[in-house]
Amino acid sequence: MSLPLIRTLVDRLVGGLIVLCVSVAAIPVLVLLLFVLINGLPGMLTPGFFTDPPYPQGVPGGGVLNAIIGTLEIVGIGSLLAVPVGALIGIFLSEYGRNQVGNTVRFISDVFTGLPSIAFGIFGYTVVVLTTHHFSALSASIALAVLMLPVILRATETALVLVPNSLREAGLALGAPRWRVTLEIIVPAALGGIVTGALLAMARAAGETAPLLFTAFGNDIVQTNPWQPMGALSLTIFRNALVPYPNLQQQAWAAGLLLVALVAATNILARIYVRRIQR
């Protein structure tokens, strides 16, 4: 067999292998999305889905307004707590953290990443719920913030480390102090990566159920006060999926679809925003 022929064969083989691997990874995700779409769409189109609170079990109709508001508020407050702190720690790790302090922070953060999410729920329960004697959206936000923190700080650090050193040197060679180079040159250069990291963390937090079970607790009434128990889309999915009423099961599917859509929408919007300011 001639050499070029072998080469062509190997080329085809490896190419085919790659396509196969991509398919194995992508097909389950696509099937999942399709499933959620098919099962969730009818529930979403039910009148009142977006505008009504849930009705008592057995009563037809009702919506998930309580859960929509709850998810937005809980994740929103959680992000407000976690993103600034996480980004600052990430900046510290990348620009000033090549030492024992940095390594310790990194180690702790890695341990946190591996922790099961229900542990963060226990944290929120012991630290906030037990001390305030009350289930609350705030306790859920704090639990989610701690869960988001390691993801954000590691993503920030990675994005900053990727900024070429020549940019740091160029800034410093102009006589700029280190903190100004970091804030005015390095961070803007890495903004895309930082925002992506924050979004990944938010997306993960929005889908978490376990940390909410004994912090936000769930609430069938539309509630906006963060000191009160609150519903969330993930809690709606969890509770309604286990109930023998078809209309509630359908609502669970629809809540799942809505959650997917929310996460996708934030992702797309943030990407457009980053692209715009980097032009």
What does the binding site for other proteins look like in residue numbers (CB under 8 A)?
Answer: 98, 164-177, 180, 184-185, 188-189, 278-279
- Any idea what DSSP says for residue 174? T
Asked whether the beta carbons of 157 and 102 are under 8 A apart, the reply is: no
CA distance 19 to 202: 31
CA distance 245 to 92: 52
Q: Could you tell me the smallest distance in angstroms from the CB atom of residue 169 to other proteins?
A: 6
Alpha helices in the chain (DSSP H): 3-45, 65-96, 100-114, 117-124, 130-132, 137-161, 165-173, 178-181, 187-189, 191-207, 210-213, 233-241, 246-278
Q: Could you tell me the smallest distance in angstroms from the CB atom of residue 212 to other proteins?
A: 39
Q: Could you tell me the smallest distance in angstroms from the CB atom of residue 184 to other proteins?
A: 8
Q: Could you tell me the smallest distance in angstroms from the CB atom of residue 162 to other proteins?
A: 12
Q: Could you tell me the smallest distance in angstroms from the CB atom of residue 118 to other proteins?
A: 42
**Single-letter residue type at 18:** I
Q: Which two tokens stand for residue 211?
A: 């940390």
